Structure 1
Amino acid sequence: MRHIWLGVLGALAVSACTGSAEQRPPEPLEATLRTVEQGELIGFQHSPGAWAWRGVPFAAAPEGDLRWRAPRPAPAFNGRFEALDHPEPCPQFTSALQASSGVTPGQLVGSEDCLRLDVYAPEGASADNADRPVMVWIHGGANVWGFAGQYDGAQLAKDQDVVVVAIQYRLGPLGFFAHDAIRNDAADPRDAAANFALLDQIAALEWVRENAARFGGDAGNVTIFGESAGGHNVAGLLASPLASGLFHRAIIQSGSFDSVSWEAAAGAEPGQSNTSDEIALRIAGDGYNAAALRSADLETVFNAYRGEDGAPFLNLPRMIEDGVTIPRDGLANAFASPDTFNAVPVITGTNRDEMKLFNLFSADLVKRYFGVILISRDAAFYDAISDYQSRVWRILAVDQSASLMQSGGHGDVWAYRFDWDEQGRALFVMDLSHLLGAAHAIEIPFVFNHFDFFGRLDGAMFNNNNASGREALAAAMGAYWAEFARTGEPGTGGPTNLPYWERWDEGGVLMRFDSPDDNGQERIAGTDSFERLEADLAADTRFDDAQRCMIFEAMAAWRPRGSLDAMGQRLGCG
């Protein structure tokens, strides 16, 4: 269930970018000419005060014999490379949510020649003034959707005087595949991995280390940040020994610390669907070997993830404990000691109403009229079930992870909660403040200070009525994020004199983000836990037993099988 709905963000953003991909590329600007390892490349004037270079290769195309191998160095440019347009996405299935934009759902799109990145810098940034923090963005989308072109880093770069890099990486089965045939055919120790997506991200960081100065960035001051699956990947890079020294701060926005054993991902242990063993049989039949898997055409690989009705399966093992990119004893366990992860300063946080983005599309909770008007069936119950589910996300992404790091001796940890919910009404009757509120991914436009993000929803969510408040909130979040990137502490957001953001401690200290009309940025304290969640649900007099069990099942659907069985039994829902 979780993996299906984590694609909502990717689908919305893809639809937002469908039209822009058809626009004529901008004109190259001679002042942006740079020489990198592969040769000369030239960018363009993105907007007043900002330059951009788009679609820059950071590794060779991982296709043919390079499929399911660690990325290899990018080849030299054939002449001057014009970095004027976003790269083609990595292979992925289109979503049913793109149908309204004229995109047929369930279609395979993208190219294996996708290991590319976009760079944004303030106008005039160059090797002569290469002292800016570099902020490397890792997109979300359940690790099966998404691409660099969803995110425009120009305003963040200009506002905060930083260099922003948005990277792409292999997705779905090409990014995560634990198979002995692949491991045994390794030509390099890194080829024996299963998280090829993490290897791509590491290769991108290596490219940044070698080339950041050309764009005005300090390669000795790199921050990785990402949301949802991107936040999960940030956690993976924090735990990966292969990423040591490649970054110096990390921001996890609505991330995860889950991982899957190699055995479960391969199919030797129960509990996972679409394991690599069964997928390999679908791709190449009996008697296959690594060469047969690598030589299969792209459609055959992805069609192995379709059901009998042709609909794609979106659930597959991800963040695999391969002993190469991720320790064999699990992702979360790495954070118990600064000696077992890349212990740089960390910010981790969630949105107050994470689950409303997914519950919005539940027919059990929301009625749909004329295909476009959405109204909750029971407003109070919709808020309540979303709140309990969203608390699960916070417990896992903030309370447990921050406390684990802090108790293990790593004190440079900060936490936040994003609360903005001022969307108001759309089409007079659809209350977006209630239906979405501070939902999953809503904070991204505020971090980038770029509100062209959710496609057709943008005009409804980001309107004249909330303009002044959201602009103030965006300025504050950008200042905190950039100050953290610059110094390793969010502090007061640099010279802006915002409230001081304190470190996490055993009592729980978070910075709450909201507009000035709702108290702006303020310190909140306290922790949450599964014990407290269970006690609150058991004592909640708003629900009958059936509703209480419905809430429990909604929470349990987002956790590994069996992890909340005892809670369910105590609540009478076993």
Structure 2
Amino acid sequence: MRRFLASVVCLLVAACGERDDASTEPVADPATTTATAQGQLTGYVSPEGAHVWHAIPYAAPPVGDLRWRAPRPAGSWTGNRDALTRAERCSQITNSLDQGRGVEAGLRVGSEDCLYLDVFAPPGAVDLPVMVWIHGGSNVWGSIEAYDGSQLAIDQNVIIIMVQYRLGPLGWFAHPALREDAETAEDGAADFAILDLIAALRWTRENAHAFGGNPGRVTIFGESAGGHNVAALLASPLAAGLFDRAIIQSGSIASVPLAEAEGRIGEAANPSLTIAERLVGADASADDLRAVDLDDLFAAYETGGGFRLTMPTMIADGVVLPLDGLRSAFASEETFNAVPVITGTNRDEMKLFNALDPRLASRHLGVFYRPRDRGFYDALSDYQSRVWAIGAVDDLATIMREGGHEDVWAYRFDWDEGGSNVFIDTGFMLGAAHAMEIPFVFNRFELFGQLDRFLFNDRNAESREALARTMGQHWGNFARTGHPGADWPRWGERGQRMRFDTEEDGGPEVVRGAETMESIAERLSGDQRLTPEERCQVAATLGDRFFGEGGGIAEMIGCG
């Protein structure tokens, strides 16, 4: 189960968002010309009216001798640089969702030269809050080309910056030879992707004003793996002072010990010492590793199924993250970057993944999904999603609060009004699935490719657009003031959280009640939707590392 979930999580939203129609090629607009610390550049004006700049380098290309080193400063340029086209995505393995772009699944694509960012700003921007978006994709896949910050920038009068970072084994790799070859203290890390994000935040502090942003009001926000990376930035001493608020959307606070990432303890899949031996032998030097062909490196991780790349990510390396692990950092305001935090999940997180699992759902004509057992599908997704919420919200918010940090807000996203026909009922098969909140945050209903036109239809347009405005306003308030709004109370002893849904379904509203693994076990043990055997099947999935501290539920309900 662990290997399956590690694989299927690659089907996160990051690359689902390829737009159906080829966009008109942008034209440089002199009104967007600005001067950064590196040089002058010109962007374009989006159809929404936002000023947009693409592919701005925030660090030197991490290639050659800079592979598996901390990012170095980006170079400057002379003359004017046109910032009109998006950068190539970071090296990764394509999956079935890339087929919509005409790219075969299971290929190694992208470039090591990928440390670029995009900026979206309302016209006439002066001293505005800055929001830095970190994309998802299980930290092995995805890019910023799936997202567009134009509408959010216009609606909330903020600057949106979207960042690419090293993925997969280029972003997370722990090996003693690399530490011995370190030229700086940061080179001795294993979480190179988090160092990329830190470099992007340093660039933002230096250059936000060039786009009308206030470098003293920076909010980091990200979804799924992006939310996991937001948590890492909160915990990293190297990121201190680089941001002022943080939003974790469907994230995680799991991490792997350095020794386990290397393969000296534990059972991590594809630990780095094993990978190095496969590639260059047991006595690998840093030069040997950096000379490895990129295709050979990715192939060493046993990719398969068109999208799988199994490896440790989020490593407690003692440089970027504390050796005690990511979760431990939040126990005291003294041990993490204690800025105001929003953390939340979607009610039906796991339905996105379960809909893609052939053991749970059948696929018709290569497109349409139906549950093999409707009751079991619904119950399994429910419990898995509840456990996700415990790790990402209830546990995290409670740890912070008990450690003295009160500026924590929580939410749950419940929108499940997608379209249905004789082939698929998206309201049931997906519901408020993983990633479903992203179009509402950005007020841009383009994320799931061909499914968008069906999922977001004329019948639900008015209500979902109203919900998008509400969510955008809360995110914008938080970026401006560090507080999402008077109607949204902080997390407290009663587990208060904002439930985002349409008015027809009773939202938005504040709901109360926190869950624990014990309360999940009690609920599961008496669930009449399931047979005793099915309850044990569900419980077995809740102990997977993917869900954090999920072990023990099977024992609690009497399963062997």
The two structures share one fold, judged by TM-score above 0.5: yes
Give the match's secondary structure for 2:333. coil
Judged with a 3 Å threshold, the aligned counterparts in structure 2 of structure 1 residues 114 and 538 are, in CA distance, closer, same or farther, namely same
Mapped contact 2:14–2:144 kept (Cα < 8 A): no
- Cα RMSD, aligned residues only: 1.7
TM-score (norm 1): 0.94
For 2:111 and 2:399, the matched residues in 1 are separated by 40
Query: C-alpha separation between the residues in 2 aligned to 1:430 and 1:406?
Result: 42
The equivalent position to 2:7 in structure 1, one of 4, 13, 31, is 4
Aligned: 1:508 with 2:499: no
- Give the distance between the partners of 2:191 and 2:152, measured in 1 at CA: 30
Indicate conservation of the 8 Å contact 2:19/2:446, yes or no. Answer: no
Matched, 1:483 2:477: yes
Distance of aligned partners of 1:558 and 1:330 in 2 relative to their CA distance in 1, 3 Å threshold: closer
- Give, in angstroms, the shift of residue 378 of structure 1: 2.3
Report what 1:518 is aligned to.
Answer: 505
Residue of structure 1 in register with 2:533 after alignment: 546
Query: Contact between 1:10 and 1:145, CA under 8 Å: does it hold in 2?
Result: no
Measure, in 2, the Cα distance between the counterparts of 1:283 and 1:153. 40
Q: Choose which of 552, 555, 569 in structure 1 pairs with 2:542.
A: 555
Matched residue, 2:133: 137
Do the aligned partners of residues 18 and 114 (structure 1) sit closer, same or farther apart at CA in structure 2, a change above 3 Å counting? farther
Look up the match of 1:441.
435
- Decide whether the 8 Å contact of 1:92 with 1:108 is kept in 2: yes
**CA 1:521 to 1:413, structure 2 compared with 1: closer, same or farther past 3 Å?**
same
Structure 1 contact 513–521 (Cα < 8 Å) conserved: yes
Instruction: Decide whether the 8 Å contact of 1:11 with 1:94 is kept in 2.
Output: no
Distance across 2 between alignment mates of 1:284 and 1:521: 56
Instruction: Tell me, in whole angstroms, the C-alpha distance in 2 between the residues paired with 1:78 and 1:285.
Output: 45
User: Aligned ranges for residues 22-421 of structure 1 at < 5 Å?
Assistant: 25-125=25-125, 129=126, 131-306=127-302, 313-421=308-416
86-95 vs 357-366, which moves further = 357-366
| Alignment deviations for residues 460-492 of structure 1 (CA, whole Å, 9 cap, x no partner) | 110001000110000000000000010000114
Gaps of 5+ in 1: 493-499
Q: Does the Cα contact within 8 Å between 1:266 and 1:276 map onto a contact in 2? A: yes
Taking a change above 3 Å as real, the CA distance of residues 148 and 310 of structure 1, as seen in their structure-2 partners, is: closer
Q: Which amino acid in structure 2 is aligned with residue 415 of structure 1?
A: A
Q: 1:13 corresponds to which letter in structure 2?
A: C
Using a 3 Å threshold, how does the CA distance of structure 1 residues 329 and 558 change in structure 2: closer, same or farther? closer
2:498 match: secondary structure: strand
Q: Which runs of 5+ in 2 are unaligned?
A: none
| Identity fraction in percent | 53
Q: 1:463 aligns with which of 457, 460, 478?
A: 457
Question: Given residue 515 of structure 1, which amino acid in structure 2 is its aligned partner?
Answer: T
SS, match of residue 6 in structure 1: helix
Q: Deviations over 1:63-94 (max 9, x none)?
A: 00000000000011253211101111000000
Aligned residues: 557
The AA in structure 1 aligned to 2:558 is: G
> Post-superposition shift, 1:313?
4.5
- Counterpart CA distance in 2 for 1:565 and 1:386 is 17
Contact (CA 8 Å) 1:225, 1:231: kept in 2 or not? yes
Corresponding residue of 1:572: 558
Point out the more displaced range, 91-100 or 408-417. 91-100
Secondary structure of the corresponding residue to residue 399 of structure 2: helix
How far, CA to CA, are the matches of 1:436 and 1:196 in structure 2? 34
Q: How far does the alpha carbon of each residue in 1:303-355 deviate from its partner, in whole angstroms, 9 at most, with x for none?
A: 21126x79664121111011110000110110000000000000000000000
Q: Structure 2 vs 1, CA of residues 565 and 325 (structure 1 numbering), >3 Å: closer, same or farther?
A: closer
Aligned-pair CA distance for 1:12? 4.8
Asked whether the equivalents of residues 130 and 217 of structure 2 are also in contact (C-alpha less than 8 Å), the reply is: yes
Task: Flag the structure with more relative contact order, 1 or 2, with Cα contacts below 8 A and sequence separation at least 6.
Answer: 2
Going from structure 1 to structure 2, the CA distance change for 1:100 and 1:167 (only over 3 Å counts) comes to closer
Give the 4+ runs in structure 1 shifted more than 6 A. 309-312
